[in-house]
Amino acid sequence: DPAMTRRGVFAWLLDSTAVAAIPAILFLDAGAAEYGEGWFANLVGPVAILASTGVGLLLALRRHTNPIGWLLLASGNVLALAGLARAYAGYVLEHPGSLPGGRAAAVWDTSGWPLLFAGVIAIAFVFPEGRLPSPRWRPWAIGGAASFLIMLLGGLLSDDPLDAPFEELAPFGVLPGAVHGTLQAVGLL
């Protein structure tokens, strides 16, 4: 079945992308010196990526119609992106001018945190059968997705200082603090 083959290839691609980020994260973090995460994060991060994508791959290949496997694969990629952004920004701070985009990676490190929870929340909505318990849950699921988007965009465009150790870098600063605070409050609500 060609559709089954495409799904399998896509599942392996999602898994491979996240797993391939692990050596890059460890290499960049090793070069980040004082801006690096340290051994504990470099142990826990890859384990979390491998656990999420490993279970996600098995579910996506065996139960491709159930979205939980695909959500776990996506969550593993979000974890990989978070680790990569942190290590990349730290490396660029330690070696100024060595790589482009360090500021963007630092902004993502500070503001991309809502996506770390999005996969778990999405799985909670569709567990265990892979669909919402009833159509009455649809507005709640849409509201949940919208809240993550509002918080993510509000954080990325904020003029608030970046989290340590990246506080010396300038945020994107498109939204003033009052607007960002309102968006964060609405998103959290």
What is the pLDDT at residue 146? 93
Residue with tokens 């870098």: 169
104 or 184: which leads in pLDDT: 104
Render 145-174 in DSSP notation, one character per residue.
HHHHHHHHHHHHTB-SPPPTT-TTSPP---
Cα distances (Å, whole numbers) of residue 165 to 101, 107, 157, 171: 16, 11, 19, 13
Q: Is 54 exposed, middle or buried (0-12, 13-18, 19+ CB in 10 A)?
A: middle
What is the pLDDT at residue 165? 93
Model confidence, pTM: 0.91
Give the rounded percent of residues in the chain with a pLDDT score beyond 90: 78
Mean pLDDT, residues 109-115: 93
Q: Has residue 179 got a pLDDT over 90? A: no
For residues 86 and 116, the answer to whether their CB atoms sit within 8 Å is no
Name the pLDDT band for 91 (thresholds 50, 70, 90): very high
What is the pLDDT at residue 44? 94
Residue with tokens 């994260």: 25
Mean pLDDT (the chain, rounded): 92
For residues 148 and 186, the answer to whether their CB atoms sit within 8 Å is no
157 or 39: which leads in pLDDT: 157
Q: Has residue 86 got a pLDDT over 80? A: yes
For residues 80 and 16, the answer to whether their CB atoms sit within 8 Å is no
